[in-house]
Amino acid sequence: MNTFPILSLITFLPLLGALFIFFINGAKQEYIDRSAKTAALFVSVFTFGASLFMYSLFKPENGDFQLIETFRWFPSLNISYKMGVDGISVLFVLLSTFLTPVCLLASWNSIKKNVKEFMIAFLILETMMIGMFCSLDIVLFYVFFEGVLIPMFIIIGVWGGPRRVYSSFKFFLYTLLGSVLMLLAILAMYLHAETSDITVLLNTNFPIQMQTWLWLAFFASFAVKMPMWPVHTWLPDAHVEAPTAGSVILAGVLLKMGGYGFLRFSVPMFPVATMEFTWLIYGLSVVAIIYTSLIALVQTDMKKLIAYSSVAHMGFVTLGIFTLTEQGMEGAVFQMLSHGIVSAALFLCVGVVYDRLHTRNIGRYGGLVNNMPKYATVFMVFMLASVGLPGTSGFVGEFLSLLGAFQVNTIVATLASTGVVLGAAYMLYLYRAVVFGPLDKDDVKKMLDLDKREITIFLPMIVLVLWMGIYPSTVLNTVAPAIKKTITYHDQGLERAEKEEKQKGDIQ
């Protein structure tokens, strides 16, 4: 077996980088800022390289957890430091390591104060994100899951917009309230199974009544993180006030933690409760898709519009996961990855014009196609990907999720499909208002097109979006075995529960 702890390396490399940057000191502020930026970028790029290497070691045909590492943490309590990835989490690790250097590049010039601290916060955030996707111990998972809050709170609060204090508090307290209930559920699971090893918990049979409570507690946490309607209200606030890089990582990775949690815990571990509550998820997803799309239509703030569109897109994800069909769940994972890149890119697009004009008001722009043709092209690619145009990554995810939904519930699927139309409506509206129309505002006329740094950021993202849209098998081949495994756990759990019911009936 592989003895080199590659996952731990990827996880803690950014932390080491942060520690290194912490000790950077010098007489000139300019010099400190430059070295901090360079060091952070170097570390994050290196981490991305290491994660690619890790992906080359990963065997996608196998649906099990791989590259497992175990270290003693609390041996006599049966809580250990255990890391490992399967086909689902490995892709999220790649997504996190890919987006971090992108974010650092994006904030190269826009972050002007406390540059060193910003870089430290971001690298710590990266450690927490990667660690969360890699943990195979539920207590360790919780540590990373909650640990994300600290750097994100600081990033929104220190480098955010005018209402940053309100937004950062709302973000922190909302998510914390959801998570603490999950903590109790985690403890209950731990006490029942007497271990916190996720691979064991996947094969544990939780009593049916307990499953309901556990499911609800996990739901409280993941629904807030997703976010699902009606607990999504922290998201627009957080997005609007966060600096560009904060919005990118929030939309790109943090929102995926909820969906990942549903796939990893709720569906395979509490199968009976999952079946019981599918109606709830369907209802909330459909409401999220239609209602937040309608809200997105009337926004005047670019970031808010994209934030609401995120909620709608996450509706497809929850819908896909809880169809409990292979297509639906694969679609959900695909949609999450695609949304991770597309919405991140859209926030970067907003960041580009915001850096130049310092407003996010849609009405203040117009006619950018004339003086920023490169920008117009880039924006168009991501706008169309967000709409779900065939040939872009957005299409595959939505299509598969809806395909799954049609197999289980036609009405829900039909209602959800209207979201695609509404999505096209608000994204095209945004694009028309910003890029087309007359170029009549003097300050808009003066705006310069993308520079080399910005093109470097966007180019790989465009390639990824098109690649995933044209040849989705690259991703699906990795995801499919893990999804099959998840469904197997789910079905096995249901069978065990049925047997138990029968036995109870026989005794009576």
Partner 1 sequence: MIDLQTFNIIPVMPEIIMALMGMVLLIFAVSQGNKSYRIVSWYVVLTCITVGAILLRFPQGVSITFGGMFVTEPFAVFMKLLVLAGASLVLLMSITYMQREKIARFEYPILILFSTLGMMVMLSANDLISLYMGLELQSLPLYVLAAFNRDNLKSSEAGLKYFVLGALSSGLLLYGCSMVYGFAGTTNFIGLAEVFALEATPVAGVVVGLVFILVGLLFKISAVPFHMWSPDVYEGAPSSVTAFFAVVPKIAAIGLLIRVSMSAFGGIAEQWQQVLMLVAMGSMIVGSMAAIVQTNIKRLMAYSSIGHMGYALIGLTAASSAGVQGLLVYMMIYMFTTAGVFAIILLMVRKNMQVETIDDLAGLAQYKPLMALCMAVLMFSMAGIPPLAGFFGKLFVFQAAMAEGMYTLAIVGVLTSVIAAYYYLRIIKVMYFDSATEQLDNVEDSGSNFVMRASAFFAVVFITIAWPIVEAIHYAVDSLLFL
Applying CB under 8 A, the residues found at the interface with partner 1 are: 72-77, 114, 117, 139, 142-144, 146-147, 149-150, 153-154, 157-158, 164-165, 168-169, 172-173, 176-177, 180-181, 183-184, 187-188, 190-191
Question: Alpha helix locations (H) across 58-114?
Answer: 87-106
Q: Tokens standing for 247?
A: 């919005």
- In a 3-state reduction of DSSP, which class is residue 85? strand
Between residues 117 and 449, which has the closer beta carbon with respect to partner 1?
A: 117
- In sequence order, what E strands does 29-124 have? 66-74, 79-85
How far, in Å, CA of 322 to CA of 281, rounded?
Answer: 7
Cβ distance 362 to 300 under 8 Å? yes
Q: Is the CA virtual torsion 12, 15, 21, 22 positive or negative?
A: negative
What's the min distance (Å) between Cβ of 74 and partner 1? 6
Number of other residues whose CB lies within 10 A of the CB of residue 501: 12
Closest separation in Å from C-beta 269 to partner 1: 17
| Residue 487, C-beta contacts closer than 8 angstroms, at least 6 positions apart | 324, 326, 329
Nearest-angstrom CA–CA distance, 130 and 150: 15
Of residues 82 and 164, the one with the C-beta less far from partner 1: 164
Nearest Cα neighbor of 58 from 80, 29, 34, 89 is 89
To partner 1, the closest distance from the beta carbon of 106 in angstroms equals 22
For partner 1, the closer of residues 119 and 290 by Cβ is 119
Please identify, using beta-carbon distances, which residue of 178 and 315 lies nearer to partner 1.
178
Q: What distance in Å separates the CA atoms of residue 281 and residue 315, rounded to the nearest whole number?
A: 9
Phi-psi region of 68 (alpha: psi -120 to 50; beta: other; left: phi over 0): beta
Nearer to partner 1, 5 or 147 (CB): 147
Question: What does the block give as tokens for 61?
Answer: 């045909």
Residue 80: CA count within 13 A, CB half-sphere: 18
Q: By C-beta, is 82 or 485 nearer to partner 1?
A: 82
Q: Is 54 helix (H, G, I), strand (E, B) or coil?
A: helix
What's the min distance (Å) between Cβ of 216 and partner 1?
12
**Which residue, 142 or 431, is less far from partner 1 as judged by CB?**
142
Q: What is the nearest approach in angstroms of partner 1 to the Cβ of residue 183?
A: 6
Spatial distance between the Cα atoms of 497 and 499, rounded to a whole number of angstroms? 5
Task: Return the structure tokens found at 109.
Answer: 């010039």
The DSSP result for 136-160, as a single string, is -BHHHHHHHHHHTHHHHHHHHHHH-
Q: Return d(Cα 300, Cα 434) in angstroms, integer.
A: 11
Q: Which is nearer to partner 1, 24 or 297 (CB)?
A: 24
The smaller minimum CB distance to partner 1, of residues 142 and 282, is found at 142
Considering beta carbons, is residue 188 or 357 the nearer one to partner 1?
A: 188
Closest C-alpha among 463, 364, 106, 366 to residue 251: 106
Q: Nearest approach, Cβ of 128 to partner 1 (angstroms)?
A: 8
Nearest CB to partner 1, comparing residues 224 and 332: 224
Interatomic CA distance for residues 474 and 393, integer angstroms: 12
Q: At its nearest, how many Å lie between partner 1 and the CB of residue 144?
A: 8
Compute the least distance from the CB of residue 406 to partner 1, in Å. 40
Candidates 297, 252, 311; CA nearest to 430 is: 297
Partners of 334 in beta bridges:
none
**Among 404, 383, 413, 399, which residue's Cα sits nearest to residue 285?**
413
- To partner 1, the closest distance from the beta carbon of 124 in angstroms equals 10
Q: Which is nearer to partner 1, 10 or 185 (CB)?
A: 185
Cβ of residue 227: shortest distance to partner 1, in angstroms? 17
Name every residue whose Cβ is closer than 8 Å to that of residue 42 and which is 6 or more positions away in sequence. 17
Least distance between partner 1 and beta carbon 413 (Å) = 37
The minimum distance between CB 188 and partner 1, in angstroms, equals 6
